Amino acid sequence: MPIYDPNRIEYGITSGHIQIVAEGGRQSPAYWAHPVTGRLFPAIALIHDWWGITPIIRRMAHLFAQSGYYVIVPDLFDGQSTQSPVEAMELVKRLGDGGYPRVDAALRVLEDHHNTNRDVAAVGIGMGGSLAYEAAIVRRDLEATVSFYGFPQRYLGRFHESVAPILALYGEDEPYITRPVIESLQRELAAASTSRKIAHEVVLLPGVGHDFFAETATEFTKQQGRTALTRAFTFLETCLRGPIRTPPR
């Protein structure tokens, strides 16, 4: 997954496990990665898929941090992760409706943290991409949302409520989210872009289906995953204020 781009500065980072304190004092675990310099950076709540916080998610958190973002990954499964779809479904069932409150708590931390500039984005993958859509619709203070193959079905009819630009990325051969659903998402975001003058985007990647960040993906699929990440970086840099990211000449 790691991508090297000579046109971007790469920051030294630190990372580790933290506890997020939500409203009411309840604590929940999270993973944290951020640049070690003392400057103010934009922030990202990175929301994992139904596999949990896997090595791929940690590497993605590091990649965003190296590119100049403060990153929190709320741990929706309290330290559990799996490679089994059956176990993943059980974790999702156990989570129930408890996912979004944890995402919301992470976003609140990033909005108020003394080392962020209060420009905040929600970035999610699969199940996390669905929760990123919810954050875009519910919150009024996000600067951007990126959803990698999130499930938009339950939010159709509400995307006009988002005040944050949304970038949605799917494989053209997506097996779980039907083409009519993606086309409905495209129409809603296009209409919202026109009426509210918000630059929503839907990107379809040719030749790939779901989970183009998987360790077991083919080299072509991994390349498309890197393309998706590049599109996400460009989108975020357009929407969020941040430090200079191009190296000095």
Residue 129 identity (one-letter amino acid)? G
Residue 197 has pLDDT above 90, yes or no: no
pLDDT tens across 52-64, in order?
999 999 999 999 9
Whole-model pTM?
A: 0.93
Of 155, 165, 169, 161, the residue nearest 211 (C-alpha): 169
Percent of the chain with pLDDT over 90: 84
Residue 54 identity (one-letter amino acid)? T
Percent of the chain with pLDDT over 70: 94
* Strands lying side by side in the sheet with 144-148: 13-21, 27-35, 70-74, 41-47, 116-125, 144-148, 166-171, 201-205
Q: Is the dihedral of CA 93, 95, 98, 101 positive or negative?
A: negative
pLDDT at res. 7: 63
At residue 100, the 3 state secondary structure works out as: helix
- Confidence band for 247, pLDDT divided at 50, 70 and 90: very low
pLDDT tens across 204-242, in order?
999 999 999 998 889 999 999 999 999 999 999 999 987
Provide mean pLDDT across the span 170-174.
97
Domain 13-239 has CATH 3.30.1490.100: no
